[in-house]
A = this chain, B = another copy of it.
Amino acid sequence: MAQPHRPGEFDLIARYFAPLAAGEAGAFGLTDDAAVLIPSPGCSIVATADAMVAGVHFLPDDPPDLIARKLLRVNLSDLAAMGARPRAYLLTTAFPAAIDDAWLAAFAEGLAADQAEFGIHLLGGDTVSTPGPLTLSLTALGEARDGAVLRRSGAKPGDTVYVTGTIGDAALGLDSLRGHLGGLGPRQTEYLAGRYRLPQPRTPCGPRLLGLAHAALDVSDGLVGDLGHICKASGLAAVIEAARVPTSEAADEALAADPELLTRILTGGDDYELLFTAPPDAAAAVAALGAELGLAITAIGRCEAGQGVRAVDRDGAVLDGLGEGGWRHG
């Protein structure tokens, strides 16, 4: 936080951000030019960064604590997808003049809540003002023993394709928030909106996939599109059995009312579930891991020679309209 850009920035950092760094000795209370992170013995650093802009990635009047937590969580999800354990994060904020103390307090509370949940701390950052929309950037730092991480490129023909949790909730939640999804009760609507606004990074699961999974990533662009990334990086094809893709009760209800939503579920983004491939002989270990973590881990398909991703129905017929699935969002 070396560069003050307006009067009061020091106060703002001291009041809202320094407390978030209190648990990390190397952050020096955000009063020095940089921070020190001591890796655990034998560990390499795993780093990822994401940016979010008001009006593009969230609505300006979204609850500030949820904006903060989503920003943090999408980065934690990237670390989980690499099999890394989160350690700390740096945050830069470009605040428009309309951001007031109440907003900042709620934003910091959101960060504090997730710091406690995920065992991490703020390490540093910068706070500037902007004449434009609120713009946030977060760099998450994790660690991995001996630099061993999960890549997108290790999938092999014959691998089973797995996914954690349920798929499609976030896309349906966004549709619902935009008024494009009718017919659901308030409980289901709230559930889906919550899945969009507050993803659950699979932080405990990711590092446990090291040695089990051949390839992994997190579902941010949509199931079909992201499986396509694995296929491209690994030089193979994959088949999804649509009927095996795990969906929530709320998504099932929406789907019952409008079967066309299946495409949206298979291609919508922002799920932040882990998608990975593992050899058939890892099936028992994968099942045991899911049971231990209390996390649904579902086999949804397989890898094979070739290229591209196709989804098939119960009869093995290929579903149409998924070609460019998930490569656009927001």
Contact = CB atoms under 8 A, between A and B. Distances in A.
Interface stretch (A52-60, A111-119, A256-264, A308-316): A52-60
Given A33-B217, A94-B53, A47 B130 contact: no
Q: A-B pairs with the 3 shortest C-beta distances?
A: A132-B132, A137-B137, A34-B48
A35 B46 contact: yes
A110 interface: no
A139 interface: yes
Contacts of A140: 34
Interface of A: 2-7, 10, 26, 28, 31-39, 44-53, 55-57, 74, 77-79, 81-82, 84, 88, 90-94, 123-133, 135, 137, 139-142, 144, 147, 149, 151-153, 217-218, 220-221, 229, 233, 327-330
9 contacts: A2-B81, A31-B229, A32-B151, A32-B153, A33-B217, A34-B47, A34-B82, A34-B84, A53-B132
B141 A45 contact: yes
Given A34-B79, A132-B131, A220-B2, A139 B49 contact: yes
Which of A38, A124, A130 counts the most B-chain CB atoms under 10 A from its CB? Answer: A130
A99 to B, nearest CB: 14
Contact of A328 (B6, B33, B329): B6
Contact of A327 (B4, B141, B220): B4
A50 B2 CA distance: 8
Interface class of chain A by DSSP: mixed
A53 B95 CA distance: 10
A39 B45 contact: yes
B44 A37 contact: yes
Nearest to A54: B132
A271 B33 CA distance: 15
Given A56-B129, A84-B34, A92 B44 contact: no
B128 A56 contact: yes
A126 B48 CA distance: 9
A81 B228 CA distance: 44
A172 B31 CA distance: 27
A45 to B, nearest CB: 4
A233 B31 contact: yes
A127 B221 CA distance: 14
Contacts of A2: 48, 50, 74, 78, 81, 217-218, 220
A7 B128 contact: no
Nearest to A5: B330
A125 B47 CA distance: 9
A152 B35 CA distance: 12
